[in-house]
Amino acid sequence: MLRLHAHGAKQQFFAEVKRALTNAVLGVVVGKLEGLGTNRLLVTEYVNPNMADRLRRLNVPFIDIAGNVYVNYPPFFAYVKGQPPPKLNERHRTTRAFQPTGLKVLFAFLCRPDLVDANYRDIAKVAGVALGTVVWVVTDLKALGFWFDMGKRGRRLVEKAKLLERWVVAYPEQLRHRLTIGRFTAPDKAWWRDYHAANFNAFWGGEIAAARLTHYVRPEIVTLYVRDRLEDLVIRNRLKRDTRGEVEILKAFWKPECDWKTDEVAHPLLVYADLLAAVNERSIEAAGIIYERYLAGLVRED
């Protein structure tokens, strides 16, 4: 909580503090700020000019340690951008658990909580990674305080909500772009309405999945995760490659053991991450609905 004093007036803010602010983090941050009410403020190390303009358009007040600021709470108004980034000596280590293969293991743990008590070979099989990957992911989780081995009482993941948030932040930066097969455009913009993704071993993500799970979003971007070859999908729907196309196709990185209970839609965790990475007001609202309906119970502490 922060208090601002200026020109004889006072204002109190609920603050959300993020060390580093990137496009991938932004959706998560905006979503959390929405839950803080009207008097909210983002505090971070540095906001570059482009990000400052974006935050202002989203009406997200912020302040950084370089002197950039946007506050619009009458009688307070301030907007400063373009201050040079501060010189910081500290280097922030990205743990292996939040790098590409580690994220696959964490996804398996979050989707399948029972895996925590499985042997490491079974975990590796479900996550689709090497056995050694599981070993160092668990080592990192222990060091970060997310994993406890309680002997005969088994193992336990704690702070699962925080772990989920870190996964959602790391996914677009570390893994999602590696999964991209291509972007396409379709002559019939509504082709997806009658398309049965399950028939092609594919899963809806992003706005399409959100529309099916919440009936709230009117999709503009079509996101599809696929396991098999693309030929039938592309030919049947006359998709043409287009770097600015409205159809994005990605490789499904998870194993069938982590499929969501409906065979048409990717797991809500993935849909949630897709929506927050889009960073627009409507997708963030839909992400909030998905979190409350499908993910809050998943990360509730026992």
Please tell me which residue, 9 or 224, carries the higher pLDDT value.
224
Phi/psi at 5 (5° precision): -120, 125
Structure confidence at residue 302 (pLDDT): 66
Torsion-angle region of 245 (φ positive above 0: left; ψ -120 to 50: alpha; else: beta): beta
For 11-65, write each residue's pLDDT tens digit: 888 888 887 777 767 777 877 777 777 788 899 988 988 889 988 988 889 999 9
Q: Which two tokens stand for residue 99?
A: 């790098």
- Give, rounded to a whole angstrom, the gap between the first and last alpha carbons of the chain: 29
pLDDT of 91 above 60: no
Mean pLDDT confidence for 186-205? 88
Mean pLDDT confidence for 63-84? 89
Mapping DSSP to helix (H, G, I), strand (E, B) and coil, where does residue 276 land? Answer: helix
Is the Cβ–Cβ distance between 287 and 272 less than 8 Å?
yes
pLDDT of 262 above 60: yes
Is the Cβ–Cβ distance between 174 and 103 less than 8 Å?
yes
Structure confidence at residue 101 (pLDDT): 95
Mean pLDDT confidence for 80-90? 79
Structure confidence at residue 88 (pLDDT): 67
- Dihedral of alpha carbons 203, 262, 127, 171, sign: positive
Please tell me which residue, 240 or 285, carries the higher pLDDT value.
240
Return d(Cα 302, Cα 142) in angstroms, integer.
18
pLDDT of 86 above 90: no
Domains of the chain: 2-80 (3.40.50), 96-158 (1.10.10.10), 176-295 (no CATH)
For 96-148, write each residue's pLDDT tens digit: 899 999 999 999 999 999 999 999 999 999 999 999 999 999 999 999 999 99
Return d(Cα 182, Cα 25) in angstroms, integer.
23
Comparing 77-91, 148-162, 216-230, the range with the smallest average pLDDT is 77-91
pLDDT of 174 above 70: yes
Residue 154, C-beta contacts closer than 8 angstroms, at least 6 positions apart? 116, 117
Mean pLDDT confidence for 148-175? 89
The residue behind tokens 């919440």 is 214
Task: Tell me the C-alpha to C-alpha distance, in Å, between residue 302 and each of 27, 112, 155, 159, 298.
Answer: 28, 15, 13, 11, 10
Mean pLDDT confidence for 180-196? 90
Mapping DSSP to helix (H, G, I), strand (E, B) and coil, where does residue 97 land? Answer: helix
Return d(Cα 49, Cα 106) in angstroms, integer.
34
Structure confidence at residue 167 (pLDDT): 94
Q: Residues 71-76: contacts with CB within 8 Å, 24+ apart?
A: 71/4, 71/41, 73/11, 73/39, 75/7, 75/9, 76/4, 76/6, 76/9, 76/11
CA atoms within 13 A on the CB side of 297: 5
